[in-house]
Amino acid sequence: METNPTFYGLSARVQLEELGDNQLGIRKVIKSRIIQKDAAKIVEIVRQIKSVNSNLELTLICTPNICSKSLALLKQAGIKVLFD
């Protein structure tokens, strides 16, 4: 599985990790809280990855500092959240 973000047309700053068969993790390291604006960017990253390979299951890997609106937005988009 490809973990190079440029393969999916993303910025080289996006950190991708292989989590298993057809499972890819997006690692988001933010010192402050992940707000709804950040979650909207993550949803766009997921859409870009899915446009290249629609079979992938994507998970956000982040710290527990995430607002409830962001969690709701990610859940609505079908993105799992894994706390690191």
Cβ neighbour number for residue 43 with a 10 Å cutoff: 18
Instruction: Tell me the per-residue pLDDT of 12-53, one tens digit each, with 9 for 90 and over.
Output: 999 999 999 999 999 998 889 999 999 999 999 999 999 999
What is the pLDDT at residue 30?
Answer: 86
User: Which pair of tokens denotes residue 13?
Assistant: 């700053």
pLDDT surpassing 90 at residue 80: yes
Pairing of strands 15-20, 23-27: antiparallel
Q: Which CATH architecture has domain 5-83?
A: 3-Layer(aba) Sandwich (3.40)
What is the pLDDT at residue 23?
Answer: 94
pTM (2 d.p.): 0.91
CA pair distance 16, 5, nearest whole angstrom: 7
